[in-house]
Structure 1
Amino acid sequence: MSTKKLAVSALFISLTAVGGMFKLPLGITSIAFDSLPALLAVLFLPASSVGLIAAFGHFISALLGGFPLGPLHAVIALEMWLILWAFAKLHLGGRHILKWLVFVIGNGILAAIPFYFLLSAAFFIAAVPGLLIAAVLNAAVAGVAMPFMIKIGKKVE
């Protein structure tokens, strides 16, 4: 990884910390904007870096919230890496509508499925509405910001 890509990745990871500080409690989950920087990083970085930013973003957001799920946050970080990696691949492939569906459904529903088995059906049912709202809000803000971000900078090479 070039120094420039590393610096841009560090910038976006720092922005996930800022986004993770904006939390709105919603049932057993909270809405945070820790995914937003990773969604925007797709404009400047390769898919693997975008996934890494999302994983770090989740860990930072969980740290700010007191790690309520303990070591299960590693599972969530891995899920976030995968979802944002897929988002970035779809973006690079020109699949602009599908990328948003993958992000919202992946982050809002699919990422909660392991917890149906690891914790309980009640946890899954209680978590999904908040996760869906968070995914939609992160996607909406990113969708509005992306045209402005494109004007601001060029893809990091």
Structure 2
Amino acid sequence: MTTKKLALAALFISLSAIGGMIKIPLGITSIALDSMPALIAVLFFTAPLAAIIAAFGHLISALFGGMPLGPLHLIIAVEMWLVVWLFAKLHQAGRHWLKWLAFVIGNGVVAAVPFYFLLSPAFFYASVPGLLIAASINAAVAALLMPYVLKASGGSHYASRNMD
């Protein structure tokens, strides 16, 4: 990995941290913009690296929130990795409408399924509406910003390939 690529990845992780500080309480969950930078990062990075940005973004956001689920946040970080990896793969395949749907459903519903069994069905049902709203807001903000980021980067859809 080149220094320029590493610096850009660190920038996106930092943006995730900043987004994680923006919290709007919603029931037992909170809305934060911690995954939005990882969604934009797919313009510059491969799926695994964009997914790493999402995982670190979640962990930093959870730290700012006081780690309310303790070590279970590691499970969520892995889930974020998987959801953003799928998002990036769909993006690279040109499945632009499907990537947004996969992100919102994956982050808003599927990622909560393990907690149905680990914590309780009540936790699952109480958290899904807030998670769906949070995923939708992150996706909407990323969708609005992507054209501007692409334009600012010189229009290169995969600018990271030009950095190697």
| TM norm. shorter chain > 0.5 | yes
2:94 maps to amino acid: G
Tell whether 2:57 aligns with 1:57. Answer: yes
Partner Cα distance (1:6, 1:117) in 2: 38
Does residue 96 of the first structure (1) align with residue 100 of the second (2)?
no
Match of 1:156 in 2: 160
Identity %: 68
Say what the alpha-carbon RMSD is for the aligned residues: 0.6
> 2:139 is matched with which residue?
139
Q: Does 1:72 align with 2:76?
A: no
3-state SS of paired residue (1:30):
strand
1:2 CA drift (Å): 2.2
SS in 1 for 2:48: helix
Q: What is the 5 A alignment of 1:99-110? A: 99-110=99-110
Q: Are residue 5 (structure 1) and residue 9 (structure 2) matched? A: no
Within 2, Cα distance between the matches of 1:111 and 1:89? 18
In structure 1, the gaps of 5 or more residues are: none
- The letter for the 2-side match of 1:83 is V
Q: Which amino acid aligns with 2:115?
A: F
Paired with 2:77 and 2:152, the residues of 1 have a C-alpha distance of 29
Structure 2: give runs of 5+ residues left out of the alignment: none
Which amino acid in structure 2 is aligned with residue 25 of structure 1? P
Q: How many residues are paired up?
A: 157
> What TM-score do you get using the length of structure 1 for normalisation?
0.98
Question: What CA distance in whole angstroms lies between the structure 2 residues aligned with 1:12 and 1:50?
Answer: 9
Other structure's SS at 2:25 match: strand
2:34 match: secondary structure: coil
Structure 1 residue 64: Cα displacement: 0.2
What is the DSSP-based 3-state SS (H/G/I as helix, E as strand, rest coil) of the residue aligned with 1:156? helix
In structure 1, C-alpha distance between the alignment counterparts of 2:14 and 2:160, rounded to whole Å: 17
- How far residue 124 of structure 1 moved from its aligned partner, in angstroms, is 0.1
Partner residue in 2 for 1:114: 114
Aligned partner of 1:156: which letter? S
Distance 2:2 2:149 in 1: 21
SS at match of 2:30: strand
What SS is found at the alignment partner of 1:25? strand
Cα displacement (A) at 1:66: 0.2
Return the letter of the residue paired with 1:42. Answer: V
How far the C-alpha of 1:136 sits from its partner, in A, is: 0.3
User: 1:107-131, CA deviations, whole angstroms, 9 ceiling, x for partnerless residues?
Assistant: 0000000000000000000000000
Cα deviation for residue 3 of structure 1 reads 1.9
1:20 matched residue in structure 2: 20
**What amino acid is the match of 1:100?**
W
Instruction: Say whether 1:44 aligns with 2:28.
Output: no
